[in-house]
Chain A
Amino acid sequence: MSTPQTVGGPAETIPATMPQKRVILTMGGKGGVGKTTFMISLAEWLGTQGMGFQMLDLDVENKARGSLKNYFEGAATKVNIHTPAGLDTFIDNLDQGPKIILADMGAGSGQVAHEWFDTMYEAAEEMGIAFTAIGVVTADPASVESVLIWAKALQHKVQYVVVLNQAVAHADFAYWNNTAQAEQFRRIFQPVILTMKYRLPDLENPSRQHGATLGDVATRRANVPELEKSSLVARAQGYQKQIFQELDKNRELFVV
């Protein structure tokens, strides 16, 4: 614990704290943009890094198919953040468990998250916790607005990663690329930009329906007949390789 500084004493610099723990959270807001889809891939990638992590499913409104818990039954813990302690679960879990938390925030979590960062961020930082905030953007301008609203609240408290999700075959990210507000965000925060390639509905829909990850399909562990077609297995392998390569290039934002 550091010693309180006295006024008028010699100038001192407080040593910068190296992150010892990391919370990777999705910036909630717009639903259905692919936040959980990205977090699933991130979880599988972290699994290949030999690094312990814990998954928290904070998406209270996404109760069934689309939630993180649906894909990682038993490994993802569902948490209700709409309590007085709110997101203190970040700190408590990091205190007792792995050094990395994956937190899938879900839509409608903004107010709680922003208030928590206002109150607790500084203390969390002093405990050596770093934050990586994941924003997922599609062609829908509402997805861009969500990222900007969160950034306005979180400012420099987090490192930003923006995932351009090609949710349709020919995705147009005009509202991300060509608006003054998004440009200002990029200039100030210099986020890392990742791309999530378009995935065939033939693969995406049954995967979601049966809670199968890309890794499950790629390694034929899904136990779902329609996901065992060789073409889909090959596509799953390709999608996973692509996203893993992007994560490899920006490893420092996801590990400690």
Chain B
Amino acid sequence: MVREFQAVLDGLPGKSPEPLEEYRELIGEMRRRGLTYREIAGVLADRFQVQADLGAVYDVLRAGARSSRPLPARRQVKAEAAPAPSQAPQPPKTRPAPQLRQAVQLRQVPRMREAPQPAHQAARTMSAALPQVRKVVEKPVFEYDENEPLRLTGDSRSIE
């Protein structure tokens, strides 16, 4: 794209492409394995030098859940190395209350010594390792179909 056009687009308000999009599959898998948003953000920081707050992690999952289409093809990784910090995806700009933002902001973490992997490789690599991170006690999910009327069962007369 012509540089001037890109500059104009960059200056427009509105939603930029999801910076964590390429990590969506990995994030989804980590959630399924019971990691909290904070822990996921920690993994992203440790392994990919991606600084993301809890809301950004949540947003990428929600965007994935909303879409009934198959996951879009991941972006081509141009180099084997992960992006430099200056190129690393940034969290979305629309964050809530400043107090909270401060509270949930992740600390800067040191780089790992090993060479960072592309997200899709890392997803596979981490698959075996994740169960060691945390054991989750599954709580039963409450399901309710609001289109289904309440139907009385058994003895419908009852006095509290």
Residues in chain A within 8 A of chain B (CB atoms): 1-14, 84-85, 88, 91-92, 95, 118-120, 122-124, 126-127, 141, 144-145, 148-149, 151-152, 155-156, 164, 166, 170-175, 177-182, 184-185, 188-189, 195
Cα A142 to Cα B68 in complex, Å, equals 32
B24 → chain A, closest Cβ, in Å?
Answer: 17
Instruction: Scan residues 101-160 of chain B and give those whose CB is less than 8 A from a CB of chain A.
Output: 103-104, 106-107, 109, 126, 129-130, 132-135, 139-144, 146, 148-160
B100 contacts chain A at the CB level, 8 A cutoff: yes
> Do B156 and A122 have beta carbons less than 8 Å apart?
no
In the assembled complex, the CB of A85 is this many whole angstroms from the nearest CB of chain B, namely 6
The distance from the CB of B107 to the nearest CB of chain A, in whole angstroms, is 6
A155 CB to closest chain B CB, in angstroms?
6
* A26 CB to nearest B CB, Å: 19
Q: Cα distance A4–B39 when bound, in Å?
A: 6
> Can you list 17 pairs linking A and B with CB atoms under 8 Å apart?
A4-B42, A4-B106, A4-B107, A6-B43, A7-B130, A8-B129, A8-B132, A12-B134, A119-B55, A120-B55, A123-B100, A145-B146, A149-B146, A164-B160, A178-B152, A179-B152, A180-B153
How many angstroms from the CA of A63 to the CA of B153 in the assembled complex?
39
Is B151 within 8 A of A122, CB to CB? Answer: no
Shortest Cβ distance from residue A110 to the other chain B in the assembled complex, whole angstroms: 11
**Chain B positions within 8 Å of A9 at CB level:** 132-133
Cα distance A151–B143 when bound, in Å?
9
* Cβ contact of A7, chosen from B99, B129, B144, B160, cutoff 8 A: B129
Task: Please judge, given known A-B contacts A5-B42, A5-B43, whether A123 and B54 are in contact too, CB under 8 Å.
Answer: yes
- Assess whether B158 is in contact with A148, with CB atoms less than 8 Å apart: no
Q: Tell whether, in the assembled complex, residue B106 and residue A172 are in contact, meaning their CB atoms are under 8 Å apart.
A: no
A181-B129 CB under 8 A given contacts A5-B42, A6-B43, A174-B157:
no
> With the chains together, A120 CA to B106 CA distance in Å?
15
With contacts defined as CB atoms under 8 Å apart, how many contacts are there between chain A and chain B in the complex? 149
Question: Could you tell me which residues of chain B, from 42 to 60, have a CB within 8 Å of some CB in chain A?
Answer: 42-43, 45-47, 54-55, 58
Known contacts A7-B130, A14-B36; 9 additional CB pairs below 8 A are: A5-B42, A9-B133, A88-B100, A120-B96, A148-B144, A149-B146, A173-B159, A178-B153, A179-B150
Q: How distant is the Cα of A172 from the Cα of B156 in the complex, in angstroms? A: 9
Tell me whether chain B's interface is mostly helix, strand or loop, or mixed.
Answer: loop
A141 CB to nearest chain B CB (Å): 5
**Roughly how many angstroms separate A184 CA and B133 CA in the complex, as a whole number?**
32
Q: Are B37 and A122 in contact (CB under 8 A)?
A: yes
The listed residue (A11, A141, A172, A181) touching B159 by CB distance below 8 A is: A172
A24 to chain B, nearest CB (A): 20
Question: Which residues of A are found within 8 Å of B148, using beta-carbon distances?
Answer: 181
Q: Contacting A11 at CB < 8 Å: which of B43, B132, B152?
A: B132
Beta-carbon contact of B151 and A4 below 8 Å: no
Q: Given A6-B46, A11-B134, A141-B150: A1 and B107 within 8 A (CB)? A: yes
Contact residues, B19-51 vs A (CB, 8 A)? 35-39, 41-43, 45-47
Given contacts A126-B103, A174-B158, contact A145 B97 (CB under 8 A): no
Complex: chain B residue closest to A144, CB-CB = B150
Taking a contact as CB atoms under 8 Å apart, the answer to whether A172 and B46 are in contact is no
CA distance A7 to B133 in the complex (A): 6
Instruction: State whether B150 touches A145 (Cβ < 8 A).
Output: yes
Distance in Å: Cβ of A255 to nearest Cβ of chain B: 23
B100 x A91 contact (CB < 8 A): yes
Specify which chain B residues have a CB less than 8 angstroms from the CB of A141 in the assembled complex.
Answer: 149-150
Distance of A96 from chain B, by nearest CB (Å): 8
